[in-house]
Structure 1
Amino acid sequence: MIGLCLAAFADPAAVHERPLRVLYLSQSVGFVHDTVRRPPGGLAPSETALLAMGREGGVFTVEFSQDARELTAARLAGIDVLVFSTTGALPIERTAWAAIIAWMESGRGGFVGIHSAADTALDFEGGQDAWTAFLGGRFDGHPWTQGTEIRLSNLEPGHPLVSMWPDATGYAEEIYQYVGFDPDRVRVLQTLDMGAGPLRRPYPVPVTWVRQIGRGRLFYTNLGHTPSTWDDPRFRAQIVQAIRWTGGRLEAPASPNPEVQDSAAIAAFAAAEGAPLQTNPGSSAAIADEIRALQAAHPEKRDGDSSAWDAARAQIRDRPGE
């Protein structure tokens, strides 16, 4: 493990309260992103970026690890926020995982997941499902490959965890879609805008969300695939705010917003299909669920067979006005 502590005097508030203690885990069990690849004797780009974030704002100190076995109950007692940019089945045993959940639920700790944290699991029986339930969703492919032009839809522009990304921000990133995602358990703050870019799908793709776990707080963003994103001032500001919020130094709403997500799902379908969709308030949730189910029917999930995809889209599109 590499540990570094930063004195924090840039922010006057830091004089009155200690900096948050962050542990950044960037272990890769499988694919290794450039953002977490360490050069010989040095730090990975994302580690260097986190050092700069802590130095500039004085909000936190940070220690680094690329070995999940270090996440013991004793280790958790000395930190406030876990930040994960990980892949694969991490070597976290059941007892260690139970300690992490207890730490979160008690409000003693918070969690920030970045990009491939959604392409992560736990190395014990049932660990993948446990991780998916914890984070809120699991990687289900990235049709929007590295460098694909996208546009971000900000569902709550005044929320301090996404206010740095104005609605309709154009960007280029690798964007995941998810399985095991339940709109009733999270508050989605950013999604893909399906009215822009070269690749448009008629179903919603969340990008950033938050949730409560007991008294603890969890933040996840799909952004962060490339070193250039880690260098982006907007992304850096977002991660700092996420650390502040999960560490209990910032207040922001986290209650689930399924109605907002339903509206975003209907808007995604209409934008990608190029036609408005007739709904009323009483039918929106059911229609949104049908739209979300399109992801599993896409031909790429069915060996190129488009019959289910075409039939499901037609059923939604041809729904009589209500």
Structure 2
Amino acid sequence: MTGPTSAAAEPIRALYLSQSVGFVHETVRRPEGGLSLSEIALQDMARDSGAFTLELTQDARDITPARLAQLDVLIFSTTGALPIDRATWDAIVAWIESGRGGFVGIHSAADTSLAFEGGEAAWTAFLGGRFDGHPWTEGTPIRLSTMGPPVGLATSWPNGTRFAEEIYQYAGFDPSRVRVLQTLDMGYGPLRRPYPVPVTWIRQIGQGRLFYTNLGHTPSTWADPRFHDQIVNAIRWAGGRVTVEAAPNPEAQDASAVMAFSAAEGLPPYAGNPADIAEEIRDLQGVHPEKRDGDARAWDDARARLISRFPPASPGQPSTVVREGRLWAAPGR
């Protein structure tokens, strides 16, 4: 992440929306007469960093074209179909595309849509993916893997950081449109699935910038200095104050998909081109038994086809792996 631009003397003007039309997270719940935990944490980040000023709202109707003219960054930790109409949404997208605005999405921003016809699809295309369950429930031990050389939007979490958090998986995710910065390490923890699960990504939208991280479900995450550092850097980047490479990294994501599969299945490294099988690996998410009322036939068949394309296990290598808390036999092994 390179240094400040000439505009750095002026703090970024940020608005934090923490509206819950769907599930209400504890981090956004306001006590009577007070502010939520996440609002207080963001106020602390603004004060301690001096990088941005902060306005707070829990009503998306406060975001109007006139209000956008007074802002540099929108921060969303939201759920459900937000009361944003098509005209206002078009204004938000145009504001970002022009480079006048940026966006920071936190955790449940991926469990969000817009209250107009086609609003869910519009939001998914904008953010880069939508909530498709959270197999990694609150408190599940995870390990974060950095994708490629670390950049300033992920360096507060060194490669291999162990953590505990609720982690989403995503539908509508297109690797060709985003640059993934962090992903789950499927070689660690009690819950390992043989497909990739991104945690943090960025994308360029016209001249504007979007940052999203899955982190932020638990109060302890909002209290973590590493999370504070990441969000402050994300606001700086989305506000155009620093430069980070944002070009999509689908090749790195393909390699990560293959690594996720081999780690979860206990297999040797893949000898071929990751692009040849990465999409098949990603497709496993959609045929997991939990998506099919417990029917594991498609899941087991797809895994067996993929396993057959990896080198044979070396002598003495276990033919079973622990996944999702129980022992699984590797098909055909």
TM-score interval for Structure 1 and Structure 2 normalised by the shorter chain: over 0.9
Cα distance in 1 for partners of 2:45, 2:253 equals 31
Q: CA RMSD in A?
A: 1.5
1:280 pairs with 2:262: no
Matched, 1:213 2:243: no
- The question of whether the paired residues in 1 share the 8 Å contact of 2:27 and 2:218 is answered with yes
Contact 1:157/1:166 (8 A) holds in 2: no
Deviation at 1:285, TM superposition (A): 1.2
Query: Percent of pairs identical after alignment?
Result: 69
1:286 Cα deviation (Å)? 2.7
Q: 1:115 aligns with which of 83, 107, 110?
A: 107
How many residues are treated as equivalent by the alignment? 308
- Counterpart check, 1:318 vs 2:308: yes
Give the equivalent residue in structure 2 for 1:24.
Answer: 16
Corresponding residue SS for 2:93: helix
Asked if the contact 1:14–1:58 (Cα under 8 Å) also holds between the matched residues in 2, the reply is: no
What residue number does 2:323 align with? none
Question: Is 2:118 the counterpart of 1:126?
Answer: yes
Q: In structure 1, how many angstroms separate the alpha carbons of the residues matched to 2:263 and 2:272?
A: 18
Q: Is the 8 A contact 1:208 1:220 kept in 2?
A: yes
Task: Please state whether the residue corresponding to 2:277 is helix, strand or coil.
Answer: helix
Q: Deviations over 1:95-149 (max 9, x none)?
A: 0000000000000000000000000000000000000000000000000000000
Say yes or no: does 1:296 pair with 2:282. Answer: no
Which residue number in structure 1 is paired with residue 81 of structure 2?
Answer: 89
Question: In the alignment, is the contact (CA less than 8 A) between 2:96 and 2:206 conserved in 1?
Answer: yes
TM-score (norm 2): 0.90
* Counterpart for residue 240 of structure 2: 248
| Equivalent-residue separation in structure 2 for 1:198 and 1:320 (angstroms) | 24
What TM-score, normalized to structure 1? 0.93
Q: 1:157 to 1:237 in 2, by over 3 A?
A: farther
Q: 1:59 to 1:14 in 2, by over 3 A?
A: farther
Q: CA deviation at 1:279?
A: 3.3
1:307 pairs with 2:309: no
Aligned residue for 1:70?
62
Mapping 1:27-38, distance limit 5 Å: 27-38=19-30
- Once the 2 structures are TM-superposed, how far is the Cα of residue 71 of structure 1 from its aligned partner? 1.0
Q: Please list, as runs of the form range in 1=range in 2, the aligned pairs for 1:259-278 lying within 5 A after superposition.
A: 259-278=251-270
Paired residues of 2:267 and 2:310 also in contact (CA < 8 A)? no
Shift of 1:157: 4.5
Letter in 1 for 2:293: D
Q: Distance in 1 between matches of 2:29 and 2:300?
A: 42
Distance in 2 (CA, whole Å) between partners of 1:88 and 1:201 is 27
User: Which runs of 5 or more structure 1 residues have no equivalent in the other structure?
Assistant: 1-11
